[in-house]
Amino acid sequence: MNRIKLNHLKITIDTAEGIFGTDIPFQAGFNVLRARNTKGKSSTLNSILYVLGIEEMLGGRNAKTMKPVLKDKLSYKGKEIPILESKVQLEISNHKGDIITLTRWIKSSSIDEKLIRVHFGPQLSKEDKVNYKDYYVHIKGSASENAGFHAFLSNFLEWELPEVPTFDGGDRILYIQTLFPLFFVEQNKGWSSFYSPISGSFGIRDLSKRAFEFLLNMDVTKNTKEREELKIIKALLANKWSTLKQDLEQLAVAIHAEVPCLPEKPLLLDELSLNVYDDNKKLISIVDRIFQLESSIKEKENYSVVKISDVTSKYEKKVREQDLLVLQLQSEINSIRQDLHLERNNQHSMNENLKNLEVDLKRNQEAEKLYKLGSDVDSSFSQGICPTCNQHVEDSLMPPETSIQPLDLSENITFIKEQINTLKFGIKQSQKVIQNKQSKLAAISEHLDNARRELRLYKSELNENPQLPTKKELDKLVELKILLNKLYDVSSSFEKIEQRFEIIKEEWRGYLSRQAALPKDYFSELDKKKLTNFEKEFLTLLETFSFSSINTDEIAISHDKYTPIVSGFDIKFDSSASDNIRLIWSYVIAIYKTSQQFTGNHPGLMVFDEPGQQQMAVKSQKQLFEVLSKTKGQAIVGTSLEPEEIKEMTKNLTLNVIDLGEDYIIKPLTK
Amino acid sequence: MDLPLDEIKEIRFSRKRVPISPELRPMYRISQIILILHLSSTKQTASLLKLQLFNWGLQNKGRYERLLKLKESSDFPIIRFDPFLNRALNYGVAMGVFLFNEKTGKFSLTEKGELLAQRILKEDVFLEEKKFLKAIKKSLSDAYILQLFKERYPS
């Protein structure tokens, strides 16, 4: 698919001596624009860039990038004529056949040089009466907003320009200007590198790579962006997870409950649960505990109130039992307290160790800096060489007789860091143990208090009037009800936490599936195919053009920069001047061909200004013409070859030769 | 524990490299001596006794105070004469950062040592040590230290 076709270019210059200019019709396919050297051929080709608002490729912005002959004064028949007003017009069509005509003024007393007027129909090949609208370039928003010309142009060409990362950490649209160096080889800078840098501060990271990826419509740009987005989502989820964890832990501490499974990271847990201690000090889920309490309250309320005289013997037995229970609980508490104490000591000593290790680490890192300092001052200070005999010595002050071989400093540092990590882990674990023990201690203490209270009650009731209803039973009932209310509260907070947990779980699942959809490698399979195809096309073209500096078997395309490399190093632009030119021919054409094969975003236009640089062999130029005449896209070559030479070189080829003659291109226009 | 001794054909022992304290690294210790000579010694020259005393003082921050108050208390601490310091001095002389004067028995900084001192002062290392040595300045001379030492250990 060829996204753009240039139909007609016209430069119009108003002077006191009449109207000057030039008028060039282009055709689909291969066009040769022929003129004598220094007669304005490059000015003409560059005016295409100007009217498209891409003049940043010429090293600046606005009319100052244009030659004086287009804006100050022109010479005609030995006379200098001042220019009153000048403009460039270009008629283009897109792949649907829509035609528009662009007009941009170079010099005008009334119209700003940042304005581009778009007529929605042909104006040059034939003059239709159509509407027009004014757009702007080089103002804020010209790439993205309504009145921005480049936003209009990318829309017209159906280019969906991606957002790409910038140096300041944000994203910015891949400006249309940045694509042109890959298919428009301009005479001044275009022949010196694969991607001649554009002036203007775009602030985009790896600009040439992003442009290349866009033209081949590679997945990489999209995937890189997706990766960055996923990173942010992951951080966000981790944050949510840790707040949820904190809330749940607080809730658990408040009722001496335990959370059985709560990983550091938001893994795909099936469900959350909250366990509390029951009457037998066993952990059961909070819901079960509530059921238990409810039924035992019901039971107690249904029973008729027991009289003391009925229960004397039972009570005496109970007192004995309760006595035993209190003792048991007491000893249990003692042992937990001991454990806690031990664990706290343990944690304390680990913390001390950590402090010492951190000092050690700091000193080791200082030593590393000192070695670097030393070797900066004098290379003989390097590690491991004896300054006297230049033989190997261990990096230690210990006498060699001990034959202790110390670790390298860097290994030593790694060793200490690992120790620190282990200790940190240990401290965290111990913190958990302490927390759990404290919970347990609190729960058992409560049990002990209850047991003691009951014991007191049994004892006091045995002493009281045998006819009274038991106070103990009433007390117990109230106690149970209070506990039940507390559990209701906690259970409802827990439900809210569970809801939050479900949401996080869903989001995490979404994150994981997006993560899984990304290709494992940096490049997707299709991207790899495209790069392989590009490399093949590039090498075939090099051979066609008789590239000879390096054996083409040794050349590959770097997956890092997308430029040719020879055994891992960039191809240097110094071997043979004419071979450098062949490299650029092949590079530009290979991008087009690959994009064509994989329906990429290449505009289907290639412009070469003076490809016959550096005394290029006629044979090679002939090959270039042949290749270009056979490609499906539009190609425009500016050349200063003699008309006979062109005729000789393009025998049997389909092409459109535009010969601008021997004189200066800008001449009086006749209507 | 049962070992499958029948299946073991040979046993090899290889010496593992061991982690050591950075104070045992020549460059670390030499840099410390350079700082003592540069910041706290007149004419950047000091006796072995002084170097041993300061070396002892720099081992941990708790000892800084002892040295800072030495003039008031006149109490020469019980110090360890560190053989590693001697080895570091030997190393430094061989590297050409220290000069040993056989007549006076004192060590001084060479030009190379001075260059290194300037670099260490600029670098982000030995922050505590530098602060301490800058505080004590050149207040403890070789002669004074020797005098205190002799008072404490009359031989």
Distance from CA of A348 to the nearest CA of B (A): 21
Residue A382: pLDDT band (50, 70, 90) is: low
pLDDT at A381: 62
Top mean-pLDDT range of A21-25, A32-36, A307-311, B86-90: B86-90
pLDDT band of residue A573 (cuts 50, 70, 90) is low
pLDDT of A179 > 80? The answer is yes
Distance CA A579, CA A586 (A): 10
pLDDT at A26 over 80: yes
Q: Tell me which residue of A621, A540, A623 sits closest to A578, measured CA to CA.
A: A621
Q: Judge whether residue A343 has pLDDT over 90.
A: yes
Contact A412 B87 (CB under 8 A): no
What is the total count of domains within chain B? Answer: 1
Give the mean pLDDT of A495-511: 84
Q: Is the pLDDT of residue A421 over 90?
A: yes
Mean pLDDT, rounded, for A150-171: 82
Give the pLDDT confidence of A356-380 residue by residue, as tens digits. Answer: 999 889 888 888 888 888 777 766 6
Q: Is residue A164 over pLDDT 70?
A: yes
Q: Is the pLDDT of residue A188 over 80?
A: no
Asked whether residue B71 is assigned to any structural domain, the reply reads: no
The reported pLDDT for the residue numbered A571 is 78
Alpha carbon distances (Å) from A255 to A14, A436, A587, A653: 91, 12, 72, 90
When pLDDT is averaged across residues A293-300 and rounded to a whole number, the result is 78
In this structure, of A386-395, A559-568, A625-634, the range with the lowest mean pLDDT score is A386-395
Q: Do B20 and A404 touch (CB under 8 A)?
A: yes
Identify the pLDDT of residue A386. Answer: 74
Comparing CB atoms, the residue among B25, B95, B116 nearest residue A387 is B95
Mean pLDDT of all residues in A432-442: 91
Q: Quote the CA–CA distance of A166 and A207 in Å, as a whole number.
A: 9
Which residues from chain A sit within 8 angstroms of residue B95, using beta carbons?
378, 380-381, 387
Residue in the structure block whose two tokens are 């004086």: A68
Of B26, B123, B126, the CB nearest to A395: B26
- Gap between the Cα atoms of A470 and A252, Å rounded: 35
Q: Over range A101-118, report the average pLDDT.
A: 86
Percent of chain A with pLDDT over 90: 8
Residue B27 vs residue A520, higher pLDDT: B27
CA distances, B92 to each of A97, A187, A378, B30 (Å) = 83, 62, 13, 6
CATH code of the domain in which B133 resides:
1.10.10
**A5-219+523-668 classified as CATH 3.40.50.300:** yes
Model pLDDT, residue A264? 66
| Burial class of residue A310 (count of CB atoms within 10 Å of its CB; 0-12, 13-18, 19+) | exposed
Sign of the Cα torsion A435, A440, A442, A443 reads positive
Chain B residues with CB under 8 Å of A396 CB are 20, 24-26
**Pairing between β-strand A569-570 and β-strand A5-15 as defined by DSSP bridges:** unpaired
How far is the alpha carbon of A415 from chain B, nearest alpha carbon, in Å? 8
A133, pLDDT greater than 60: yes
pLDDT of residue A159: 85
Sort out which chain B residues have CB atoms less than 8 A from A374's CB and list them: 27, 31, 116
Residues of B with CB under 8 A from a CB of A: 15, 17-29, 31, 84, 87-88, 91, 94-96, 112, 115-116, 119-120, 123-126
- The complex scores an ipTM of 0.82
- Per the structure, the complete domain to which residue B93 belongs is given by 24-58+80-152
Angle among Cα A477, A479, A480 to the nearest 5 degrees reads 65
Give tens-digit pLDDT for B94-151.
888 999 999 998 999 999 899 889 989 988 888 889 999 999 888 889 999 999 999 8
Domain for residue B102, yes or no?
yes
pLDDT at A626: 83
pLDDT over 60 at A521, yes or no? yes
- Output the pLDDT for position A97: 84
Distance, C-alpha A51 to centroid of its chain: 34
Q: Rounded mean pLDDT of B16-25?
A: 86
* Residue in A360, A377, A398 nearest the CB of B119: A377
A369/B125 Cβ within 8 A: yes
Q: How confident is the model at residue A305 (pLDDT cuts 50, 70, 90)?
A: low
For the whole prediction, is pTM greater than 0.90?
Answer: no
- Interchain CB distance below 8 Å, B22 and A363: yes
Question: Among A292-301, A384-393, A464-473, which is the least confidently predicted range?
Answer: A464-473
| Cα–Cα distance for residue pair A15/A25, rounded to 1 Å | 24
Has residue B69 been placed in a domain?
A: no
Confidence of residue A467 (pLDDT cuts 50, 70, 90): low
Q: Is pLDDT above 60 for A648?
A: yes
Cβ <8 Å between A360 and B87: no
Q: Tell the burial category of A458 from Cβ atoms under 10 Å away from its Cβ (0-12, 13-18, 19+).
A: buried
Query: Of A359-368, A421-430, A469-478, B8-17, where does mean pLDDT reach its minimum?
Result: A469-478
Average pLDDT over residues A25-41: 83
Residue A225, pLDDT above cutoff 70:
yes
The larger pLDDT score, comparing residue A18 to residue A473, is at A18
Contacts of A629 (CB under 8 A, 6+ apart): A29, A30, A650, A653, A654, A655
> What's residue B34's pLDDT?
93
Task: Decide if B84 is inside a domain.
Answer: yes
> At residue A169, does pLDDT exceed 60?
yes
Model pLDDT, residue A288? 82
pLDDT digit string (tens) for A251-273? 887 777 777 766 666 666 666 77
- For residue B129, tell me if it sits in a domain: yes
| Pairwise CA distance, residues A569 & A567, whole Å | 6
Q: How many CB atoms lie within 10 A of CB A222?
A: 14
CB-based contact B120 A373, cutoff 8 Å: yes
Check pLDDT > 80 for residue A663.
no
Using a CB-CB distance cutoff of 8 angstroms, which residues of chain B are in contact with residue A405?
15, 17-18
Average pLDDT, chain A: 82
Does the pLDDT of residue A468 top 60, yes or no?
no
All structural domains of chain A with their residue ranges: 5-219+523-668
Domain-embedded: residue B3: no
Residue B3, min C-alpha distance to chain A (Å) = 30
In angstroms, the CA B29 to CA B35 distance is 10
Sign of CA dihedral A528, A532, A537, A538: positive
B112 within a domain of the structure (yes/no): yes
**Strand (E) or helix (H) holding A75:** strand A73-76
Q: Give the closest-approach CA distance of A403 to chain B in angstroms.
A: 10
Q: What is the pLDDT of residue A575?
A: 61
* pLDDT bucket at A400, cuts 50 / 70 / 90: confident
Confidence check: pLDDT of A528 > 80: yes
